[in-house]
Each structure stands twice: as C-alpha cells, then as structure tokens.
Amino acid sequence: MNTQTFDVTGMTCGHCVSAVSSEIQQIPGVTDVTVDLAAGGTSTVTVTSDTPVSETDVATALDEAGDYHLATI
Amino acid sequence: MNTQTFDVTGMTCGHCVSAVSSEIQQIPGVTDVTVDLAAGGTSTVTVTSDTPVSETDVATALDEAGDYHLATI
C-alpha cells in the first residue's frame, strides 16, 4: 500500500473536492483519495494506492476534473 | 416577463454557479437564471420568470443548493 501527497491549486469548494477526488479515484490502483481543502490556496491531496501513481497521471486527472494544477515548487 | 436580481454570497466556482442555477430553475415560473460570479464575494443572480419570485423562494433554493445566502444589506 502506498500513500502519496500532492499539492494542488485551484480548488475553492466542496464541489471542487468532489470533482478532483472522483477523477483521481479512476487512476488504476487507487484505493482512497482524501483532500485537505485550502480554498483558493494550495490544497493537499492524499492518494492511497496499490502501486505508486505518477505525477503525470495525477496531473491528467486534475485537468480532466477542471482547472486544477499540481503546485510548482 | 419579470427580471429580478439577487445578491448572493458563498459562491466560489463554476460548480457553485451550476448548483445555484439548477435549484433556482426549479422555482415555478422561472424561465432563465444567469449568474455573474464574484468568487468569494457577492455574486449577482438574475432571475427571469413569468411571475415575480419571492425572496423566500430564492433563499430556500440557495439553501438547497448548498451554503449560499442572500446578501444582507
């Protein structure tokens, strides 16, 4: 079991959390997604999966969910 | 045909606009709803209807849509 966290920008409300969670859940191997919402700031998305998920897969899921992006460091 | 505007707080994104528009559309007589989103501020909701809608009906629709409220003046 793998647990990874991703910093995500663009989420402002519970609807955004639902949209993002739903898309990331569809990445193969993902068993759980939790979001610590920082409305308008950088939210933390925690992904639990059988095998590690790639940043590319997460970024693609975010794009499919809406105008959400991995925070650049 | 009646056109009324309401000041609404609590909307932050397009999902909120969809939720609010959908609920207000269900008020009897309403034919069109448009939202000028002011994310995190006071948004303007314009309601077109056959007969005037009451503030109470709009407030109820906002509550059903989520944590949205008529702005108090």
CA torsion sign for A33, A36, A39, A43 is: negative
Q: Which of B8, B9, B15 to probe by mutation at the A interface, max A CB count within 10 Å?
A: B15
Those of residues 27-56 in B touching chain A at CB distance below 8 A are 39-40
Per-residue H/E/C for B17-38? HHHHHHHHHCCCCEEEEEEECC
Is B14 within 8 Å of A40 when comparing Cβ atoms?
no
**Structural domain for B11, as ranges:** 2-70
- The tens place of each residue's pLDDT in chain A, 73 residues long, gives 899 999 999 999 999 999 999 999 999 999 999 999 998 899 999 999 999 999 999 999 999 999 999 997 6
- Residue B45 has φ and ψ, to the nearest 5°, of -110, 120
Assembly ipTM: 0.71
pLDDT in tens, B11-33: 999 999 999 999 999 999 999 99
The first and second tokens of residue A27, run together, are: 């990445």
Contacts of A26 (CB under 8 A, 6+ apart): A61
Q: Of A20, A4, A21, A10, whose CA–CA distance to A55 is shortest?
A: A4
C-alpha span between A15 and B47 (Å, rounded): 23
Distance from CA of B13 to the nearest CA of A (A): 7
Query: What is the domain count for chain B?
Result: 1
Q: Is residue A3 part of a domain?
A: no
Task: Write the CATH number for B56.
Answer: 3.30.70.100
Q: Is residue A10 part of a domain?
A: no
